[in-house]
Structure 1
Amino acid sequence: MLRSILAGSVALILLLSGSLPALAQTQQTAPQFQQQEAPQIEISQEELQQFAGVVEKLQGIQEESFQGMSEAIQDEGLTTKQFSAILQSQQNPDSEQTTKAGEQELQQFEQARARLAEIQKETQSQMQEVVEDEGLEVQRFNQILAAIRNNPELQQQIQQIIQN
């Protein structure tokens, strides 16, 4: 369970940090959530409690964000599969899997992508607020996340905190 929470949180954090640049054409001016290398750092019990609180709240934000993104794509007249295919063909135009999208599909794609960028910006703001409301700085949250991803003992501690 913890692995799926962490994986989902990491995926959302990476998504919202601009690691998928096709979803956001402009750089965000807000602090970015980024995956960090996992140096050996000291993490207090209080920080573990704060981190666990953040992870639980991020799950709800993540679910809402993914739902909103899916709805935005569908509202523009595309399926998520069509959107993904066009996105992949734009990222890898030389690929054999390149999708030949018509003018209308490309217009729908661009409109959906613009809406996704709006959702991304709002979600990132919500995530930052949650992290800070729990008493952590975004950079410290990322450091703790990186340490937990590479430390089974810390993963167990977080899982116990979340389950209690």
Structure 2
Amino acid sequence: MAERFPDLNQQHMDFIADQHLYFVGTAAAEGHVNVSPKGTDTFRIIDANTVAWMNLTGSGNETAAHLLENSRMTVMFCSFERQPLILRLYGQARTIHARDAEWPGLSALFPDYTGARQIFVLNITLVQTSCGYAVPFYDYTGERPTLTKWADKRGRDGIRQYWQEKNTLSLDGRDTGINE
């Protein structure tokens, strides 16, 4: 059933490339655990031990707050089609903001999203696959354009203002690092 690997192999990378949805889990030492569904063209494999995902502006900023206290992150992909499979990437993550020296190189890997807020880089310590036999079948019918349209309508200045209003603190009142 479940298998463990020290890093991504080509089969894992091919599976990830075929997925349209992934989930990110983080937690501080105490408080709420956060699990966020992610889609759109926001995930990149850097190498067998490193992945990055671009975080688009949304209603909360829990992942950034959690990583300031605890760098643990899990990213999960699951197949809703064909062969059932769940693939989890465990590791230590860090947050990259537009003000950081790494931003230009990493952001160039992604489309130019108006709502780009952070890039998270995960150094993988464990890859685990499991059966996914209980995951139901779902049909992918396309990306939902709502978030990118919302951000484009606000513009980059409007997005930065939104960060100040909605993204500076987590649900548990933790700083998200957006203002540093």
TM-score, scaled to structure 1 = 0.27
TM-score, scaled to structure 2 = 0.25
